[in-house]
Amino acid sequence: MKTFAPKLSRRKFVLGSGALCGGGALYTFGLESSWLDVGRHEVQLGPERSAVPIKLLHLSDLHASEVVGLDYLRRAIETGVSLKPDVICLTGDFVTSHYGQFDRYAEILSALPKCAPTVASLGNHDGGAWAAWRHRGYADTTEVRALLQHSGIELLHNALHPITLKNRTVNLAGVGDLWAGEFRAAGVLPATAGASPTILLSHNPDTKDALRNFSWDLLLCGHTHGGQLRIPLVGTPFAPVRDKRFVRGLHRWEDRWLHITNGVGNLFGARFNCRPEISLLTLV
Ligand SMILES: [Fe+2]
């Protein structure tokens, strides 16, 4: 018996491929980049679990720009605040390049310190020689520092600040960005562990190697955007890190923790198979 397979004409193939590409582009550039996710992890900081958990909200790579609007960032921040964190850590890239709405941006960010103590480190896009060269950005970090100050957010730029949260003392520390040439750990971080755990904000996860000989317990990073485009069978070829093992998520590394968030914003308005996220870490 003769069977007839449906014939795929050249016209149908071209139309189908075009629709698929158009749909893919619509999804990548129009939908996924603002489809915010909440990533949740539990992190045990000491040898024993604490009976008093601390909720830490980790946000990174907001990238306020023409492709990441303030209405979207307001929604992300409101979502973060609704999780009722005890402390909030921001790990850089507040802008992509030159920016024109700092007053409104500061008003939106100010919701964070009204909710919980909020500290930040800077990223490679926040100013410096790299930002000016690669993205026609700011030659220094004056504008982003002013944004943080007007928002009520404490900048930890090669600095350490002990803080008491729920009767637990935690060292919050932050280092400058690696690519901006402002990274410095010596004189900021202790070489040996003290009584309190240290949570370290460093934009670029590749800094872990330079931080190996210092004492810290949890490293909070962004920078990678989770890879931003995660291609099946290929991976994350565009992740801007040397060590591609650490592109996103929570990892154990040399008896300590490393958390890399996908970030809230993006570059070029695109995300594929890699939703933007805000991260809630429960420290026990
Ligand atoms: Fe970034």
Angle (deg, nearest 10), helices 142-151 and 102-109: 40
Report pLDDT for 92: 98
In this structure, whether the domain defined by 10-283 belongs to CATH 3.30.1330.200 is answered with no
**Ligand 1 centroid – CA 134 distance (Å):** 13
DSSP assigned state of 110: T
Give residue 206 CA to ligand 1 midpoint distance, Å.
14
> 248 burial class (0-12, 13-18, 19+ CB within 10 angstroms)?
buried
The answer to whether the CB of 253 falls within 8 A of the CB of 246 is yes
Distance 49 CA to ligand 1 centre (A): 33
The CA 225 to ligand 1 mean position distance, Å, reads 6
Angle made by CA atoms 160, 162, 168, in degrees to the nearest 5:
145
Q: Which residues are CB-neighbours of 23 under 8 A, at least 6 positions away?
A: none
State in Å: Cα 90 to ligand 1 middle.
Answer: 12
The pLDDT value given to residue 159: 98
In the block, tokens 């582009």 appear at: 25
Tokens read off for 138: 């700011």
Nearest to 275, CA basis, from 1, 114, 100, 35: 35
How many angstroms separate the alpha carbon of residue 203 from the centre of ligand 1? 9
Q: Are 127 and 143 in contact (CB under 8 A)?
A: yes
Q: Give the model's pLDDT for residue 13.
A: 35
- Name the 3-class secondary structure at 13: helix
- pLDDT value of residue 30: 67
Phi then psi for 6, rounded to 5 degrees? -60, 135
Q: Give 248's DSSP letter.
A: S
Residues in the chain with pLDDT values less than 70? 1-30
Under 8 Å between Cβ of 91 and 132 = no
Q: Which pLDDT score, from 0 to 100, does residue 167 have?
A: 93
Q: Is 66 exposed, middle or buried (0-12, 13-18, 19+ CB in 10 A)?
A: exposed
Domain parsing of the chain, residue ranges: 10-283
- Residue 58 Cα to ligand 1 middle (Å): 14
Tell me, in angstroms, the distance from the centre of ligand 1 to residue 222's CA. 7
As given in the structure block, the two tokens for residue 195 are 């009584």
- pLDDT for 3: 41
Asked whether the beta carbons of 265 and 123 are under 8 A apart, the reply is no
Predicted confidence at residue 6, as pLDDT, reads 43
At 133 the pLDDT is 87
Q: What's residue 27's pLDDT?
A: 63
User: What number of other Cβ atoms are within 10 A of residue 269's Cβ?
Assistant: 15
